[in-house]
Structure 1
Amino acid sequence: MKKIAFAICCCLLLIQSFAQIKTITLSKEKLNDKIRGGWAGQTIGVTFGGPYEFRFDGTFIGDYQSLLWYDGYLKNTMLNNPGLYDDLYMDLTFVDVFEKYGLDAPLDSFANAFAHAGYALWHANQAGRYNILHGMKAPMCGQWKNNPHADCIDYQIEADFAGLMSPGMPNTASAISDKIGHIMNYGDGWYGGVFVGAMYSMAFTSNDINYVVSEALKTIPKQSEFYQCINDVIGWHKKYPAEWKQTWLEVQKKWANDIGCPDGVFAPFNIDAKVNAAYVVMGLLYGEKDFTKTLEIATRCGQDADCNPSTAGGILGAIMGYDKIPAYWKMGLKEAENIPFKYTTMSLENVYTTGLKHALQNIERNGGKINGDNITIAVQSPKPVKMEKSFDGIYPVTKIPVKWSDAKDALNFEFEGTGFVLKGETAAWASTTDFVFSTQLFIDDKLVESPELPANYTTRRHELCWKYDLPKGKHKVQLKIVNPSKEFNFNAGEVIVYSDKPVNGLLANKR
């Protein structure tokens, strides 16, 4: 009797387990419509926001300023301003790797594909690229001690593909992001991509914007600042349901002080992932499934005002589907869909087909079924990814100048704290030279690094040098140029000084 009872119990548990597996069934046509809507929505959004990218830092775009859109704008922009579409051609770099090597493509294939691509990069992407080209493997090339831009928006604007190829499977999207997102980001910067991928994934399961956002947030650890920031936006939306500008002000007051990105520290410029993700969520929540309102709000929030409406437009496009994107926003889209994005061989028409192929492969791999035109997806309950924190225990406290040596072959400065970032540049825009500055970094008279600083813009180092984990105290730094050049410029910027405690601005001003 005990054996029978045990067997019955096991059967009941097994039945209960199967009952907990939620499935949804879409026609192949519907699945394809949503995938196309996601890719088209991105393209529309980035085109719309392009003229305002980082033109409104620390402020929003006023209602009195009309935003540009006209028939033929898409085609004109793709042909004449192809560099605008970095969040698209970066996505397509990774899509192409999956297409060439399959869903189990090794990490190095993704890292090498973008590191050796011909397009210019910035912030976390460029820092990651430089690290890879100088022998550092992923995921260390995105880790914050090796990448001052670890919390920047980069993977957040490139993660669309992970969700679009994982419909209803946010944890599968997170696994893709774990592999690829750590090539260039860490901590909150990585969480931005995980969150975006999850929103795309959940867009296949519900038409409720609030549900899509809140469910996707479950993939982010609650103790992270990224989670707290987005959770605040959800709460402020409930408190101020008709006042997106009030929520913008609340985000500005609580979350707008960047501590990592050297371009955003002590400056109104903010490319931090969580702040720009907040603007994406504001566009989605306050947009209320209206495509125009969604793009307008995400753009008018400012900062990365092309990438944010691109993300919001892509997620809403996946929720609505391609066919339901208003005709006003698809003006000229057909003419643009067969134009390959620069630096790639892929157009929107190509990625519509490839995206559906990868989604179907992923669905079958993760317990779903394809029965003719009926696609059954085993929907996943979102689970939080691992906890990471960039710039843990360090705080920017001041900026100081540097001094050139009399011979113009060395940069010198002294500071008191636990770390520094020396800003500067050795590459002019579009420079393709092979010349590389050889340097030596001395801290307290000890050689700690010998950075190679290319004069080539595509392979440049985003900052000259940095060090975060020094013992607290006074330090002396010298960056010596071993091979000075009269032909190529070596421009030194300011030094951001870090310490183990934040400075109270009011008290600092009184001293």
Structure 2
Amino acid sequence: MKIRNFLLSGCLITALCSCGTSQKENLNLTLSKDVLFDKVKGAWAGQILGCTYGGPTEFQYLSTIIPDSVLIPWGNGEIKKWFDGGGGLYDDVYVDLTFVETFERCGLDAPVDSFAAAFLAKEYPLCHANQQARYNLLQGLPPHASGYWKNNPHANCLDFQIEADFAGIMSPGMVNSAVGICDRVGHIMAYGDGWYGGVYVAAMYSLAYVSDDIEYIVTEGLKVIPRESRFHACMTDVINWHKQYPTNWKKCWEEIEKKWGTNDIACPDGVEVPFNIETYVNGAYIILGLLYGQGDFEKTIDISTRAGQDSDCNPASSGGILGTMLGYNRLPEKYKAEMVIVEDMPFNNTVSFNKGSELSYGHALQMIEKEGGKISGSEVKINFQKPVPAKLEISFEGLKLDKRVVVDNWIANFPPIEFEGTGAVIKGELKGENVPEEYVAELEVYFNDKLIEVCKLPLKYNHRKHELFFNYVQPYDKYTVTCKWINPVKGADIWVRDVITYTTDK
């Protein structure tokens, strides 16, 4: 392997190249407008196709590989059937497109408040970090705080990782511009590793415009992530294991599972169970597909799918990144044939594939000019940006799992929970029959008879609080947790599943 230095757009870039040529020679910074549009279209198509391919197995295989004996179906009307079923599979796409619409409406300098307002105005179904962010915004929390880990137990979940595609798609070869967009939008629902997942995906999309070298895209894109972060450490491990086992993705998967497969801190739904929706594990499955797929679209999305866990969103990301590199015209015909059927059908409360591609293409042209590139006649010249690490953020710093207590009963039978530590999460939901949708339950939570919070719990599903209660920041002490429902109504009840308590790693 040779180390090469070269100048590009005034920046000294060091490239590791095993092919005998420098990355300066390999980077294509001049594209025809037709090629640029083809890559934009390939990006969106790749995301949709990957999501559809992995849809039938989403969270069906937890901490296990989907066996080769399990055939993943692909037939006529494969995408349309998900549309006909309500389109909820495509949460990564329709949230993505919401931000595309915001740029179109408000311009490239749209402030975070515009994105938050657009996100809040949509009534499509959401989960995890996105849903908690929606709840936080409805409660009056500012956008920059709605994804912060003290306000969002799902701050490290993959929500922004699966919907940051738009930032990279509109920033060809301009990774730092993509990161800037992620800073504005991603903190609405994420922080720390949860934010880094989106930043990394956006950076890889950006680089996929100008390089046909998957390893370069994966390794160069990682330079936008601080080395001190957990996310960077996990992605680095995957890259190194790929070098160690270059032809055996399943062995690489085993190493990922062994070191990174267990998580008892961030997402409350993943505590002491194999379910894992954290960015780093699912991000590992994105680049697992990219590295071992070797530029083959079907192989790439199949590996990212068979790695398990969020098996629709991970191939959506790897498929979208590879689709950007290949362009729409080079995608396999059997997949494009299904895209044609739905190409003008709007995604849940947003725009269609064709319209989204058109809008992102226009935004990419605007970004190229804004960041010092040139548009002349039928071609564009990109002012390439050397990746710069984003700021360091650490979610749930110092927290350590104390225990998980299964309650699985109505709030009227909630037992006092004793623990020694700094905080707790109470999982459950408000249920109601013949209760007005606008009803909001109020649940008082006490630590040692001290009122910690009056939890407001909307009955309306799209306005719900993802957990009944969470608080990680009490002084270290011995506590007894108790609850009191102060405004019960006939037909409503509060079901409690688990109480998870936390201590510190001191």
TM beyond 0.5: yes
Residue 170 of structure 2: which of 138, 152, 165 is its match?
Answer: 165
1:105 to 110, 126, 135: 110
Contact in 2 for aligned 1:219/1:385 (Cα 8 Å): yes
Map 1:267-416 to 2 at 5 A.
267-344=273-350, 346-402=351-407, 408=412, 412-416=416-420
1:235 aligns with 2:225: no
SS of the equivalent of 2:501 reads strand
Structure-1 residue corresponding to 2:427: 423
Mapping of residues 64-213 of structure 1, within 5 Å: 64-213=69-218
- Measure how far apart 1:408 and its partner are: 2.5
Superposition deviation, residue 432 in structure 1: 8.2
Over 6 Å off, 4+ runs: none
Contact preservation (8 Å) 1:425, 1:464: yes
Contact 1:58 1:269 in 2 (8 A): yes
- Per mean C-alpha deviation after superposition, the further-off stretch among 227-236 and 435-444 is 435-444
Q: In 1, Cα distance between the equivalents of 2:453 and 2:442?
A: 11
Match of 1:11 in 2: none
Aligned-CA RMSD value = 2.0
Q: Which residue of 1 aligns with 2:52?
A: 47
Q: Distance in 1 between matches of 2:405 and 2:67?
A: 35
Aligned-partner Cα distance in 2 for 1:377–1:483: 60
Q: Counterpart of 1:62 in structure 2: which amino acid?
A: P
Post-superposition offset of 1:255: 0.8
Q: Distance in 1 between matches of 2:257 and 2:46?
A: 27
Cα 1:363–1:50 shift into 2, 3 Å? same
Q: 1:470 offset after TM fit, Å?
A: 1.9
Residue number in structure 2 paired with 1:460: 464
Shift of 1:478: 2.2
Aligned to 2:501: 497
8 Å Cα contact 2:409/2:495 also seen in 1: no
Residue deviations 1:321-376, cap 9 Å, x none? 000001122122111101111212x1011011101100011111100111011101
Measure, in 1, the Cα distance between the counterparts of 2:408 and 2:453. 20
Kindly indicate whether residue 442 of structure 2 is the aligned counterpart of residue 438 of structure 1: yes
CA contact (8 A) 2:409 2:497 kept: no
Per-residue CA distance 1:419-466 (angstroms, 9 max, x = gap)? 11111111579x981111022222222222222101111000000111
Shift of 1:81: 4.1
Aligned equivalents of 1:377 and 1:31: distance in 2?
Answer: 11
Shift of 1:77: 2.1
- Name the SS of the counterpart of 2:461 in structure 1: coil
| 1:285 counterpart letter in structure 2 | L
Matched letter for residue 500 of structure 2: I
Conserved 8 A contact 1:155-1:185: yes
Deviates more, 1:73-82 or 1:273-282: 73-82
Q: C-alpha distance in 2, partners of 1:496/1:50? A: 30
Which letter maps to 1:94?
A: F
The 1:307–1:29 alpha-carbon spacing in structure 2 relative to 1, beyond 3 Å, is: same
Shift of 1:17: 7.6
Q: Is the 8 A contact 2:160 2:189 kept in 1?
A: yes
After superposition, give the CA deviation of every residue in 1:171-227 in whole Å (9 maximum; x if it has no partner).
000000011000000000000000000000000110000000001000000010100
> Which AA in structure 2 matches 1:278?
A
Aligned partner of residue 375 in structure 1, secondary structure: strand
Q: Distance in 2 between matches of 1:319 and 1:17?
A: 21
Rg comparison, structure with higher value: 1
Query: What CA distance in whole angstroms lies between the structure 2 residues aligned with 1:74 and 1:250?
Result: 33
3-state SS in 1 of match to 2:97: helix
Cα offset, 1:471, TM superposition: 2.2
What is the CA–CA distance in structure 1 between the aligned matches of 2:390 and 2:288, rounded to whole Å?
23
Contact 1:401 1:413 in 2 (8 A): no
- Give unmatched runs, 5+ long, in structure 1: 1-14, 503-511
Partner of residue 485, structure 2: 481
Q: Percent identity?
A: 49
Does the 8 A contact of 1:427 with 1:456 survive in 2? no
Give the aligned residue type for 1:33: D
Matches of 1:141 and 1:83, distance apart in 2: 23
Q: Which residue does the alignment assign to 1:248?
A: 253
Aligned mates of 1:124, 1:302 — CA distance in 2: 20
The C-alpha deviation readout for 1:82-114, integer Å capped at 9, x for no partner, is 111100000011111111111111211111211
Aligned AA (2:233): Q
* C-alpha distance in structure 1 between counterparts of 2:105 and 2:61, whole Å: 40
Match of 1:36, as an amino acid? K
Spell out the pairing of 1:217-228 with structure 2 (5 A cutoff). Answer: 217-228=222-233
Between stretches 81-90 and 474-483, larger displacement belongs to 474-483
Change in Cα spacing, 1:432 to 1:287, as seen in structure 2 (3 Å) is farther
1:28-60 Cα shifts (integer Å, max 9, x gaps): 001001000000001111111100000001111
Shift in Å at residue 317 of structure 1? 0.2
Report the alpha carbon displacement of residue 472 of structure 1 after superposing the two structures with TM.
2.2
The one-letter amino acid of 2:304's match is A
TM-score, with structure 1 as normaliser: 0.91
Tell me the number of residue pairs that the alignment of Structure 1 and Structure 2 aligns.
485
